[in-house]
Amino acid sequence: MENFLSALFLQSGYNSALVAIGAALLGIAAGGAGTFIFLRKRALVSDAAAHATLPGICLAFMTMVALGGDGRSLAGLMAGSAISAAAALVLVDWIVRETRLPEDAAIGAVLSVFFGFGIVLMTVVQNMTAGRQAGLESFLLGSTAGMLFNEAVTIAIAGAAAGAVLFLLYRPMTLVAFDPEFAATTGIPVRATDLATMGLVLVVTVIGLKVVGLVLIVAMLIIPAVAARFWTERVDRVVLIASLMGGVSGYLGAALSAAHPQVPTGAVIVLVAFSLFVVSLLLAPARGVVASVFRHLRFQRRVHLRQGLLALARDEPIFDRLTLKVLRGEGYIRGDGVATLQGRATAANALRDEARWEVAREMHLEGSLSGRFDGLNAIEDVFTPDEIRELDRQLGGRIAVVS
**378-387 burial by CB neighbour count: b if 16+ within 10 A, else e?**
ebeebbeeeb
Q: State the residue range of the domain holding 200.
A: 2-284
Is residue 55 in a domain?
A: yes
Is residue 403 in a domain?
A: no
pTM for the whole structure: 0.81
Q: What are phi and psi of 402, to 5 degrees?
A: -105, 135
Residue 88: CATH number of its domain: 1.10.3470.10
34 and 94 in a single domain? The answer is yes
| Last residue of one domain, picked from the residues 249, 284, 319 | 284
pLDDT, tens only, 84-114: 999 999 999 899 889 888 888 999 899 999 9
Q: What is the total count of domains within the chain?
A: 2
336 and 236 in a single domain? The answer is no
297 and 333 in a single domain? The answer is yes
275 and 310 in a single domain? The answer is no
Is residue 12 in a domain?
A: yes
Name the amino acid, one letter, at 365.
L
272 and 332 in a single domain? The answer is no
256 and 169 in a single domain? The answer is yes
DSSP category for residue 148 = -
Is residue 370 in a domain?
A: yes
Alpha-carbon distance values, 266 to 27, 160, 323, 328, 359 (Å): 11, 21, 53, 56, 64
**48-65 burial by CB neighbour count: b if 16+ within 10 A, else e?**
bbbbbbbbbbbbbbbebb
Is residue 354 in a domain?
A: yes
Tens digit of pLDDT per residue, the chain (403 long)?
Answer: 777 778 777 777 777 887 888 888 889 989 999 999 999 888 888 888 888 999 998 999 899 888 888 777 878 888 899 999 999 999 998 998 898 888 889 998 999 999 999 999 988 888 887 766 665 666 766 666 556 677 777 777 877 888 888 888 899 999 999 899 999 999 999 988 988 888 888 888 888 887 787 778 888 999 999 999 999 989 999 999 999 999 999 999 988 888 887 788 888 899 999 999 999 999 999 899 999 999 999 999 999 999 999 999 999 999 899 999 999 999 999 988 899 999 999 999 888 888 888 887 777 555 555 445 556 777 887 788 888 888 888 887 555 444 4
Is residue 401 in a domain?
A: no
Q: How far apart are CA 110 and CA 92, in angstroms?
A: 7
29 and 121 in a single domain? The answer is yes
259 and 337 in a single domain? The answer is no
Q: Which residues contact 122 (CB under 8 A, 6 or more apart)?
A: 54, 58, 136, 137
| Last residue of one domain, picked from the residues 236, 267, 284 | 284
Is residue 400 in a domain?
A: no
Is residue 252 in a domain?
A: yes
Closest CA to 88 of 127, 46, 35: 46
294 and 277 in a single domain? The answer is no
239 and 307 in a single domain? The answer is no
Q: How far apart are CA 305 and CA 320, in angstroms?
A: 11
115 and 35 in a single domain? The answer is yes
| Last residue of one domain, picked from the residues 258, 284, 310 | 284
74 and 216 in a single domain? The answer is yes
